[in-house]
Amino acid sequence: MPLSSLKIEIVSNKDQIIRFLALPDKIYKDDSSWRPPLKFERKAQINPISNPSAPSFDNRVLFIATKNGEDVGRIAAFINEDHNKNSKKNDGFFGFFDFLADNLLGQLLLESAENWLKGRGVERIIGPANWSVNEECGLLISGFDTPPVVMMLHGKEEYKGIVEDFGYTKAIDMFAYQAELSAGYPRPKITQMMVKSADRNNDIKVRSMRSGKFRDELNIVMDIFNDAWSENWGFVPFDEAKIEHMANEIRPIMFKEGLWIGEYQGKPIAYIWMIPDVNEAIEGLNGSILPFGWVKLFWRLKIRGVKQARIPLMGLRKEFHNTRIGLSLVAKLCETVFEVGRKKGFSHCELSWILENNSGMISICEQASAVPYKKYRMYQKKI
């Protein structure tokens, strides 16, 4: 792909936004594992007015690459102020990284992102992330033969080599584990022992979400999350605005029995949250619920049901990490929500994402007879 035939545009109007959002469908159109996301949801994701996790317009730029007038790639460069405040670093990010798998094109997109960030005094670029590690993030390294579940990224095998050839190095890997909900029985002895320990302990209690208390329960979950994950790589806390946004995003697709909270001596210390895989439900809708796609979506989610679920959120307060109480409670929560999933008709559940150095969570996944089937990588580069 000759350099002279490539151009980079900065997105500055509505037509370019539409093109930017449409690019993944063009890039992955021949990929049987691709699932076009809902267009209205993608549009809302990049708008800082509707998504508090999106950087302000001053702190981000969107690029489109064209070849002979045809859109062939995209990338975003941005500064996440919450990340820098929490990490006390001067980092920038790239994300929304999708392009025809050409070495020159990929590096030109990355160079555009780097130059924009360098112009703002950034010292290191990290990515890919679609705004933060609390949303979609990580370059897919393995597991291309299965579709991405809700809020997980897809990609091409060639991206890894292109990114690394341009000087990017691994920051950290993240795994997606897949559990077959009807398999793995009898459970490993350690799992059975932990569940029995929780059942025998009168100070331990697990409960599903209280009716009519969704917002209160979400506040509990996010408070535990901000404590449990605070020392993890790339952690960005959820503030009030982000919690409110999450409530509005997840509530339409969640089910009451999917959220479980674990208590010790009457205090919430752990949680687990299972949701249906919306990506399975929207297959074949081509990203649109109009004119009648909303009927299919409702029917697939609420009536027919989907077979794939995901556990995007699970956490245990730090003071209970690596303790018998904590391990017993988490084992009980996992087994409880898996049983709920089976009754809902789910055959599989993805637990994602799990940091490669989170030995405790990896052990929990293994005890639940889940296996790693996708790997994602966060990259970094000094600029």
pLDDT, position 361: 87
Q: Are 329 and 320 in contact (CB under 8 A)?
A: yes
pLDDT, position 299: 41
pLDDT, position 256: 85
pLDDT, position 4: 63
* Cα-Cα end-to-end distance for the chain: 26
CA quadruple 348, 350, 356, 361: dihedral sign: negative
pLDDT, position 298: 47
Cα three-residue angle 31-33-34, rounded to 5 degrees: 70
Q: CB within 8 A of 354, min separation 6: which ones?
A: 174, 175, 176, 177, 361, 362, 365
DSSP state of 13: S
pLDDT, position 306: 86
pLDDT, position 301: 56
pLDDT, position 339: 95
Structural domains of the chain ordered from first start: 3-167 (3.40.630.30), 179-376 (3.40.630.30)
Over residues 167-197, the pLDDT tens digits come to 999 999 999 999 999 888 888 888 899 999 9
Residues in the chain, pLDDT under 50 = 285, 288-299, 303
Question: Whole-model pTM?
Answer: 0.92
